[in-house]
Structures are given as C-alpha cells and as structure tokens.
Structure 1
Amino acid sequence: MDVSIIIPAYNRLWCLPRAIDSCRNTNCDVEIIVVDDGSSDGTWEWLEKQDNIVKIKQVNQGQTYAINNGIANARGKYIRFLDSDDFLVEGIIDKQFIAAEQHAADLVYSGVDIYVEDTKEIIKSPEITPWDDFLTVQLGNSYGSHFLGMLFKIELVKKVPRRPDYAFREDRMFLLEYGLLEPKTVYVAGCAGYWVKHTDQMQANYRGLKAQVTNWQHLNIYKKILSRLELDGKLTKNRKNAACNVLWPLAHWIALNHINEANEVVNWIYELNPSFKIPQKGVLGSMYKKMGFKNTEILLGLRRKLLAR
C-alpha cells in the first residue's frame, strides 16, 4: 500500500462522502480508513454500504483517539490526515506520493485554500515559499501549510502518536513533535485541498472554560517544545523569534482571565528575544510600551466591562 488516508468522523455524514470521494481515482495504491467515533447520525450505517473503505467503529472517545486507531491499522508507506469536513484537490495524492518517492522525503507539503460552506466561496491562501526550516515555520504564525496539505512518512508518524492530553491543540503538538525528528521535506506547488469553514467547526465553538483549557494546552506545547530544543542545543534565534510571534497574542488571550500568568508569558518572550517589538501600532502600541503589558491589559479589561454594561 502506498498511501493510507485517515479520516476521523463524528456526526459528519453531511460532508463525509465528499471527503471520501476526494481521495479516490488515484494511480498509486491508496487505502481510505474511516474511523467512526461513535456517531449517532447514521454514519456507521452509511459506511457499511460503501465499498473500498477500511471501516473502524469505536465508542465515542474524541478525534485524537480515532486518529490513533486509524494509524494503528494503516498499511501505507505514507499517511495523510483528512478531517471529515475537508476535502482534497484531484491529483494531489499522486503528485505528493511521486515527490516523496523521488526525493526520499519524510514530509511533502503543499498549500491549502479555504472553502466557505455556506457561500461555496473559495478563498485563496498566499503561495508558500519553500521552507528552509520546518520547525521555524510551525513555531511561528506566518502562513504555513495546514496538515491536510501534508503527506507524512509512516515510520516517523508512528514515533509521534497523536496526543489526547493536548486534544484542543493536538494537531499543533503533532506537527512540532514531528519537526523534532528533523524530517526531510519537499514542496509540491499548488493547492492540496480545502479547509472548510462552517458553523459547526470545533475551533469556532471554543468558549469559556474550553477556551481557557485550549490556551493552557497551547502554552504548554511551546514550553515543552522550546525546552526540548534548548536541551538539544537547537533553539536557534529564528526559532525563538518565531515562537515569540505566537506567544504574544496568546498572552493577550490568557490575560482575559489570568493576568498574572499572562504577564509571565510576556516576561518569557523578552527572555527569548530581548529586542522583541510589540506588533500593535498606534495608541494601543504606545500603551503597551509606556504602561507595560500588565497595566495595559487591566485597562483593556475595565473597558470591556464598561462596554458590556
């Protein structure tokens, strides 16, 4: 088997057939593995009627467990992950497989565009500049290929299981831990698939405690990855700077509920990059510079409360 495509599914029968169809009509040998994570919308009953699909049913445990279940059953030399609401561009599986074989690559990546479900609008993403350093790209917030645009070597994937303890940010944790393995990467130009935007999207519904947990997981991912890089003597200046560009907005979100912890993140940013420049311009940028992060965030919090009243 050349490529295993793992599709976790939970109550997404409205879009699952589209995702599956986008994986067909290939020249290389492909297996489509769909893991039904305890759906109640008829997903399993529909899957049982389909041909040429590896079907796995499990009690509802969450997407990460479903993905790991799929990995355990995969037979391909390469793996790609596809969310049930997204879909691939025709021909991309063969293009990336050929590139992987020709260059003995551990990871092949292409661009990903956005598809708006309600309007059927396609939003083009910026063209990717081939990466000099996979980890620097993934640590930063500049545009990088979404994981649905990537093809992974199964040997390395099995060294980095998806992490249920980082469920809300486990795709980020996976890409960073995969990067620690220093994979050989190859770029294939063009769009690999469509990241679908819709109202039922998991990330769009993070509120309250779930949002706080998400921020905590995001922060701890960076603590673990940067600590590992520093221990290995691989925490380069570019990697530090890339991480700071993510940690600054993350500190703002943490400050909504935990101002002291957020201020600790900002102190860490200046430890990583003493010359870090605050990205905000105008009045807000001046406030951060003159009053400091903590005092500015306290004032912003008071303003939000007044506006809420």
Structure 2
Amino acid sequence: MEFPLVSIIVPMYNAAGCIARCVKSICAQSYKSIEIILLNDGSKDGTLSACRALAAQDHRIALVDKPNSGAADTRNQGLALAHGRYVQFVDSDDWLAPDFTEKLVTAAETHAADLVIAPFWMVYPKDYVEHTRPWEKALGTVLRRNPPCTRAYGYLPAGVYTGQEYARQLIEKPNTFYYGVLWNKLYRRDLLAGHSIRFRQELFAEDQLFNTEYLRYVRTAVSIPDIGYYYLQCSQSVSHSRVTTADILRLRRRVMGLYKSIYTELGIYPETRAAILRSAFGENEFTLPPLDTPQAHSCRL
C-alpha cells in the first residue's frame, strides 16, 4: 500500500491538563506518514507551553498560536494549512489507539473511499456529573437512559457502501455522535477543498453540519469494525452546559431541510422522506444501546 500523507488537525483551548495524552497518542500511531497540526485557540492556561515541548520532540508537529476565534474558525485554519491526501480530526481531550489512523487509511486506499467511519469508545471521568435537560428527563419514562460508563458505540455494519447506501443508513440514526462528529472519520482533502466545505460558526453541532454537507460528495464510504477513538465526556462542554432544548430543535429543523435537499440530489428522497421527518426527534448514544463487545466495561477513568 502507498503511504499517503494524513493531516491530523487538533484545535485546543485551555487543554493544558490533557493535551500531552492526546498528542502523544497521535505521535505513537503505527502509521507514520502524518502531519500533526496543533492550533492553540488563545488558551489562557499552559496549553501553548505544553505544545511547544511536544513539538520539540516530533518534527511532524506544526504548532499555530492564534487569537481566540472558536472551534469552527480554528478548524478552518487547520484545513487551510493541511497538505495531506486525507484529513483526520482529533479533539484535545481525547486520544487514539495506536493503529487507528493506519486502519482508516488502509480502508480508504483499498476501496478508493471518500469517507471512512469507525465505532468509538465513550469514556467518562470519575468526576463526571450528568446534566439532563427537561425533555430528556421526560423521555426517561419511556426510554432507558444509559448511565455514565465507558462503552463502545457504532451503528453501521462493517463493509463498503455507495453514497446512497450510506445516506440511507445515516438517516435512521442521524443524531448520534457516530454519524455526526468528526473524530471517528477520515476525509479526502481534495473533496473538502474542491467543494469549499468549511465549518460554520455555530453555538454547537458545527461538526454535524460539516458532515451533512460532505455527504453530498460521498460516492464510496467504508465502515470499519475497529474501535480506535476514545471520546472523553465533559460535563462542562458547550453541548452539556449551554445548549437549550430550543437550540437543539432549531438545529434539527435546519438539518432536516439540508437532508431534504441532499437526499433529493442523491435520488433517494421519496424513500427516505419519513425518516427525514422523524430525524428531528431521533435518539443518540445516551439512550441507544452500545455495541456488544467483550472489551466494554462500566468503570470510569
């Protein structure tokens, strides 16, 4: 297999306590043809000095120190600096299994894929405090909410899919992290650049909007079975602490309109119309069951 360059983009804000674990897991990847773009988004703690020390140890790290402008603009600046055939995103408080990038690239190269997607671990720290919204508490009477524990999630059986097949699967669980986030996927940089796909400044879920726009151009998608990303839950994140039920419903109505447009372009709107209409009320990993894997466990970090 050829070893094309992968650009791994890591935005950071006040991540001094976790950035070393994140970056060291990237540097330790079995796949070596990577460039690591660290973007310090105006952190007020020791993030920048920690990254300078890390960059001194690995020539593949490019460190950018910039004024605070938010995650969307920071990721866009990372895309502008990327040189790789593929793009991978990692959040600063998360980490990777040693062979994760290799598994993604192997799948992409083997099948000439436009998108590769993988299951992930959702990890809870010992001090995690769950903040449930009123509508989530109400749903608790009919839907069993998963208690905080480390579990694996993935909803697409391993295999190769056409763009239409992938879109049909996605719309059945459109509000899951699995389909909506950036960090369990591999993207083709030429598609991102050629179609000017960038992040929009939003209160939350700019990654779901990014993925929805990218869906227009996916002709071949590959789902791999390997769990290689560790997503650390944070009770103080924007999605947990500042997003209201009204914000969520507004976003979902907006995304529903995008789905209608894109699925019409893909020629599958009539058959998926009911699922698109249901998408505003879809569940996510907090109520859906995890993967049945022997590695799953209920302890917290």
Sort the TM-score into its range (normalised by shorter chain).
Answer: 0.7 to 0.9
Find out whether 1:91 has 2:124 as its counterpart: no
Question: How far apart are the structure 1 equivalents of 2:154 and 2:270?
Answer: 25
Find out whether 1:45 has 2:73 as its counterpart: no
TM-score (norm 2): 0.74
Question: How far apart are the structure 1 equivalents of 2:272 and 2:233?
Answer: 30
| Alpha-carbon contact 1:6-1:67 (below 8 Å) kept | yes
Shift of 1:167: 4.5
Q: Evaluate the alpha carbon distance shift between residue 219 and residue 171 of structure 1 in structure 2; reply closer, same or farther with a 3 A threshold.
A: same
User: For this pair of structures, how many residues does the alignment match?
Assistant: 247
1:189-212: CA deviation from partner (whole Å, max 9, x where unpaired): 12021121122222111245xx53
| Alpha-carbon contact 2:197-2:213 (below 8 Å) kept | no
SS for the counterpart of 1:114 is strand
Q: What residue is the counterpart of 1:246 in the other structure? A: 279
Q: What residue is the counterpart of 1:296 in the other structure? A: none
Shift of 1:249: 5.6
| Alpha-carbon contact 2:249-2:280 (below 8 Å) kept | no
Question: How far apart are the structure 2 equivalents of 1:87 and 1:239?
Answer: 35
Matches within 5 A, 1:148-297: 148-158=183-193, 159-208=195-244, 211-230=245-264, 232=265, 234-248=267-281
Q: Evaluate the alpha carbon distance shift between residue 214 and residue 61 of structure 1 in structure 2; reply closer, same or farther with a 3 A threshold.
A: farther
Q: Evaluate the alpha carbon distance shift between residue 236 and residue 127 of structure 1 in structure 2; reply closer, same or farther with a 3 A threshold.
A: closer
Off by >4 Å, runs of 4+ in structure 1: none
TM-score (norm 1): 0.72
Matches within 5 A, 1:28-67: 28-51=32-55, 52=58, 53-67=61-75
Question: How far apart are the structure 2 equivalents of 1:45 and 1:242?
Answer: 48
Q: Which of the pair has the greater relative contact order for Cα pairs under 8 Å at 6+ separation?
A: 2
Greater per-residue helix proportion: 1
Structure 1 alignment gaps of length 5 or more: 251-309
**Counterpart of 1:114 in structure 2: which amino acid?**
M
Question: How far apart are the structure 2 equivalents of 1:233 and 1:97?
Answer: 26
Q: What residue is the counterpart of 2:172 in the other structure? A: 140
Q: What residue is the counterpart of 2:13 in the other structure? A: 10
SS for the counterpart of 1:191 is coil
Shift of 1:214: 4.3
Of 10, 24, 38, the match for 1:21 = 24
Identity of aligned residues (%): 23
Of 139, 144, 151, the match for 1:123 = 151
Structure 2 alignment gaps of length 5 or more: 129-148, 284-301
Shift of 1:127: 6.1
Question: How far apart are the structure 2 equivalents of 1:110 and 1:62?
Answer: 26
Of 112, 117, 122, the match for 2:120 = 112
Q: Evaluate the alpha carbon distance shift between residue 76 and residue 167 of structure 1 in structure 2; reply closer, same or farther with a 3 A threshold.
A: farther
User: What is the RMSD of the two structures over their aligned residues, measured on CA atoms?
Assistant: 2.5
SS for the counterpart of 2:273 is helix
| Alpha-carbon contact 1:136-1:239 (below 8 Å) kept | yes
